[in-house]
Chain A
């Protein structure tokens, strides 16, 4: 079998047999502990400073941010954004409990559909699992309430992020997923797909010059819901 031949070849070149049980146990322990390495000092900040760092990094990568005091402000913020960007009043929304609580009745002109994105959809609204201030990155573990296509097929992706879900380094976001992810599946905490998204899609393949909107969204707009009183500046 190819598997055994490859493994035997690796061992032969490393000049040893299969690992003795004590060594294998040490490596298993390392996997179980998954120790952290060097975390950049730039993320050792107070909660309000973390929010500022996240916004600064996201804007540096051509994303935009609107800060909201309450969930009820979402429809107005969405309508304003669509008007400013000259986009149609039509969006596909992730079937996420957070988004289901939004009182849309105040904006009857917004046409809404819940589900995954179809090729004809221009605008999506989804809910981020976490925000990572280190590089202005959004984390999207796939789940029934967080379809992957909403991040990919549209022209403009609008994302709801709670400041209570904002962390400094990537490792903190993974710890959140390690703690909460097991509810998605029985085979561990990892869902089928985890996207880390930093700004809108882009390419520099033409003469090493940056152009936005390669295959994914041309625009990425974050609605930052300030639900964490300790994160207010």
Chain B
């Protein structure tokens, strides 16, 4: 997938001016927040589970080599194959090879952000294999040739009329006079069209929410059942998973599963939570005859042992973006790559480089809501600050910002000068703004006042006011 993160500012401006997008964002914004709050409040143990989930993942990451080896042994014991891949290119090649050996013409796909990360669909198409997205949201985006704008609700940015328009355009075999009265009609048509694709597919490709070391299982969580049809009906099932998805035991997985749906959609549990372990067993009447796991690193191992390791605890619930004021204002496409919102602002620079994605950790108000709702207690704002520091250290920050920061640091390190300067600035601005109470523009602050007014100070600094109340208190 093309990285447009360097154009974040332009992307965001377009997003703010896009009326249809703003309509979709306004509708979705409070929906997920309300649902998550209700679900978390409904489980008294929710906060304790968060703390435990974090311990489980930290323990796993500290012994990741051990658990991956154990996991792979158990996959192989159950008759499956593990393909270890270091890079996106390795993973694409491994998947293509399995598909070609199976003589595949079409493959169905369950929802997987990792296949977006490695650009799998384009690669398969280039080699004459047709990938079919089967998650409803992913399906319409494939018709529209758009990337997902959200990690669990890929068509977050679309309105009902977009669905009808795309279905009429692409399902040309159906009567053009058919009516779409309600959402249900869209769903019924998609069900019918996709059912044929499920039955025709030679290979099914899914992601994995978790890998279980104890049993060698891959786990998927869906509400539609598309992932299950994808991995059950074709001759071959391929599960693509990144290395940090592994957890030691089923019990460990269920600590995380109790948090996942509640944090994501506000359900107590998703409709289908399915564990796959190897191929069809003797006597089984259905299920794939071949089971492959493509186990991908793609930059994760380099995040271990450093300041970004906590990001590897992420279970992709999307609570951070659902509660982010920046995501809520500009949507997911503005972020310019696979992972949007706060988790994307931390992960994208790790995976594509801070030179490409440096804007993302800067597009934050540091309000802290993402960290407050993260089921894995990932310190997202702190890690965005780490990226800003790295960006500064590598001289990627623009000269004006560097000069301004340097000037500020010079003054801030000299308390007398700092107090004198802020007193003078507060007094001057207070006097200048005494009539209107705010400034529509100020020299050197055009970037700030471009989008809003600066309230005029009252004329006194915080320090002066504090000293005064202290004196009054003593008197």
Chain A residues with a Cβ under 8 A of chain B: 1-3, 5-7, 9-11, 13-15, 18-19, 23-24, 27, 30-31, 34-38, 40-42, 57, 61, 95, 115-116, 119, 135, 137, 142-144, 147-149, 151-153, 170-171, 174, 184-185, 187-209, 211, 213-217
Identify which of B251-259, B345-353, B372-380, B439-447 touches chain A.
Answer: B251-259
CB closest residue in chain A, given B255: A37
* CB of B271 closer than 8 Å to a CB of A: yes
Q: Is B207 an interface residue (CB 8 A)?
A: no
Contact between chains at B186 and A206 (CB < 8 Å) = yes
Inter-chain contacts of A3 with B (CB < 8 A): 72, 84
Known A-B contacts A137-B269, A187-B77; A144 and B302 likewise in contact (beta carbons under 8 Å): no
Complex alpha-carbon distance, A131 and B379, angstroms: 37
Q: Which residues of A contact B155 (CB under 8 A)?
A: 205-206
- A3→B294 CA distance, assembly (Å): 11
In the complex, the answer to whether A205 meets B135 with C-beta atoms within 8 Å is yes
Contact indicator A34/B153 (Cβ below 8 Å): no
- B228 lies within 8 A of A216 (CB): yes
Q: Is the CB of B286 within 8 A of A116?
A: yes
Q: Is the CB of A216 within 8 A of B255?
A: no
Known: A40-B45, A191-B277. A142 touches B187 (CB 8 A): no
Instruction: Report B18-51 residues with CB < 8 Å from chain A CB.
Output: 24, 27-28, 31-32, 43-45, 48-49
* Shortest distance from the beta carbon of B24 to any chain A beta carbon, whole Å: 8
User: Which residue on A lies nearest to B111, using beta carbons?
Assistant: A205
8 example contacts (A-B, Cβ-Cβ < 8 A) are as follows: A14-B304, A135-B268, A135-B269, A189-B215, A190-B277, A192-B287, A193-B232, A195-B274
Q: Which 10 A-B pairs have the closest CB atoms?
A: A216-B225, A214-B224, A205-B137, A144-B283, A13-B304, A34-B249, A116-B285, A3-B84, A135-B269, A2-B84
* Chain A residues, Cβ within 8 Å of B252: 37
Instruction: Say yes or no: B297 contacts A9, CB within 8 Å.
Output: yes
**Known contacts A61-B271, A171-B251, A196-B274; A208/B153 CB under 8 A:** yes
Closest B residue, CB atoms, query A188: B215
Q: Mark B237-252, 1 if CB is under 8 A from A, else 0.
A: 0000001000011111
* Bound CA–CA A194/B276 (angstroms): 7
Please tell me if the beta carbons of B271 and A193 are within 8 angstroms of each other in the complex.
no
CB contact between B285 and one of A115, A137, A191, A211 (< 8 Å): that residue: A115
